[in-house]
Structure 1
Amino acid sequence: MMVVGDNNANSKRVVFVTVGTTCFDSLVRAVDTPEVKDALFKNGYTHLVIQMGRGTYIPSKSAGNDASISVDYFTFSPSIAEYLKNASLVISHAGSGSIFETLRLKKPLIVVVNEDLMDNHQSELAEELAERKHLFCARPQTLYETISTMQLDSLLPYEPGDATPVAKFIHRFVGFTK
C-alpha cells in the first residue's frame, strides 16, 4: 500500500505537477481545467503546485467550479526534491528520473504521456509500470477521468531490483574485471 499522506480533514494535501525541463503545455492546460481542479478537490486535495518548465501556457491561479483548491506555479527550481517530498499526489511527465524519484518516495503517481514527442519510449515505461500497478498512466485528454476514478489503495509499492548482476556484466563486457 502506498503512503498517501495525512487523511485528517484539516491537513494540507498537495498535488505537485511536474513537466521537467521540457515544454508540455498540454499537461499544464489539462491540470488547469475547472473539471480537473474539481476532481482533485473532491479527492481531498487542497493545493495544486505546477512546475511548468519551458511551457508558454500560464495556468490560472483560480480554483475550479466548486473547488477551493489553492493554485501556484513556477517554471524551474534547482531541485524538485522538496516538492516531491511534500506532495500527497504527483502528476508527472513520463521522464524516468521523475517517475523513479517519485516511486522511491512511495508517493501516489499519475504519469501523463506526452504524445507530441517523437519516438516516445517514455510511454512504454509508464505503461509497463501502470500495468504492474505502481502508478496510474494517462494522456492529457484522459487526466480528468484518471483522477476521478483512481483508487490509491490499488497501487503497489515499487521495489527497485538489484542492479549488481547488470553492473558485473557490463564490467566484464568492457574488460574491467577478470
Structure 2
Amino acid sequence: MEDEEGDQKTRRVVFVTVGTTCFDALVRAVDSQNVKQELFAKGYTHLIIQMGRGSYVPNKSEGDGSLAVDYFTFSSSIADHLRSASLVISHAGSGSIFESLRLGKPLLVVVNEDLMDNHQSELAEELANRKHLYCASPQTILQTIADMDLNSLLPYSPGDATPVAKHINRFLGFPED
C-alpha cells in the first residue's frame, strides 16, 4: 500500500457525470469491462460515476490490479470531482460541458441519442469539430477512448460577452457604467 502522498502522485481519476438526468446507457457503457480495461490501460486508476436518476447500478471495485470504481447519485456540488479529474466523461448538458472546459479538463461528451430534438448533440459536435472535446455515443465510447489523443485537444477560451451585454443594456435603456 502506498502512502497518501505517493498515492496522490499516481491517482488518475475519470469522472463520469450524467447531471440530473437518467442516462443509464452511459453509465452501463462506462461500467462495461471493455471500457474499464481500456481506461486502465491508458493509465487511469479510478472511475467515479455520478449516475443521477438512473436505475442501472455500476459495479464497485477496489482497484486491485484494475480500475477502482465508485459511484453516487447526486451531490450538492460536483465541482470538487471535476477539479480532481484527469478526464471527464459527461452527458451533453451545456452546464457540464462548459464547466469542464472552463476548468481545462480533457472532456469526452457522450450524447444521449434517446432524447427527442437533441440540440445538445449539436453543441457537443460543434465543440468536437473545433477540437475542444471528444464526442461519442454509448455505442462508440469504447472506440473513442481507444483512439483519443488528449494532447490534440485545444483549450477552450470563452468569448467576452461584455459588448453584447452593453448593447442589450443600451437597447433596454439602462445607464452605462
- What TM-score do the two structures reach when normalised by structure 1? 0.90
Preserved CA contact (<8 Å) 1:54 1:75: yes
Q: Partner of 1:134: helix, strand, or coil? A: coil
Q: 2:135 pairs with 118, 122, 137, which one?
A: 137
1:8-157 equivalences in 2 (<5 Å): 11-62=10-61, 68-157=66-155
Residue identity in the other structure for 1:45: Y
Worse-matched range after superposition: 77-86 or 166-175: 166-175
Q: Is the 8 A contact 2:16 2:50 kept in 1?
A: yes
Deviation at 1:177, TM superposition (A): 4.5
Shift of 1:63: 8.0
Q: What is the CA RMSD across the aligned residues, in angstroms?
A: 2.0
Residue 33 of structure 1 and its aligned partner are, at CA, apart by: 0.3
AA of the residue aligned to 1:129: L
Please say if residues 37 and 63 of structure 1, whose CA atoms lie closer than 8 Å, have aligned partners that are also in contact. no
Query: Which aligned segments of 4 or more residues in structure 1 are displaced greater than 6 angstroms?
Result: none
Distance (whole Å) between structure 1 residues aligned to residue 95 and residue 21 of structure 2 = 13
Counterpart CA distance in 1 for 2:100 and 2:113 is 21
Which residue in 2 is equivalent to 1:175? Answer: 173
Once residues 171 and 99 of structure 1 are traced to their aligned partners in structure 2, the CA distance between those partners, rounded to angstroms, is: 28
* CA–CA distance in structure 2, aligned partners of residues 147 and 95 of structure 1: 20
1:160, CA displacement in angstroms?
0.8
Q: Determine helix, strand or coil for the equivalent of 1:173.
A: helix
Instruction: Select the structure with the greater relative contact order (CA < 8 A; seq sep ≥ 6).
Output: 1
Superposed displacement of residue 165, structure 1: 1.7
Query: Which whole-Å CA distance do the structure 1 matches of 2:170 and 2:138 have between them?
Result: 43
Figure out how many residues of one structure are paired with residues of the other and give that number.
170
Change (3 A) 1:175 1:119: farther
Q: Aligned with 1:41: secondary structure?
A: helix
TM-score (norm 2): 0.90
Q: For residues 148 and 44 of structure 1, do their structure 2 counterparts lie closer, same or farther at Cα, with a shift above 3 Å needed?
A: same
**Cα deviation, residue 173, structure 1:** 3.4
Q: Aligned residue for 1:5?
A: none
**2:13 corresponds to which letter in structure 1?**
V
Amino acid at match of 2:54: G
Give the Cα–Cα distance (whole angstroms) in 1 for the partners of residues 89 and 152 of structure 2. 17
- Percent of aligned positions that are identical: 74
- Unaligned runs of at least 5 residues, structure 2: 1-6
User: Partners of 1:147 and 1:39 in 2: how far apart?
Assistant: 7
Aligned to 1:61, the other structure's residue is in SS state: coil
Task: Give the structure with higher Rg (CA).
Answer: 2
- Contact 2:61/2:70, CA 8 A, preserved across alignment: no
1:110-158 CA-to-partner distances (Å, cap 9, x unmatched) read: 0000111111111011000000000000000000001000001100000
The answer to whether the 8 Å contact 1:41/1:67 transfers is no
What corresponds to 2:156 in structure 1? 158
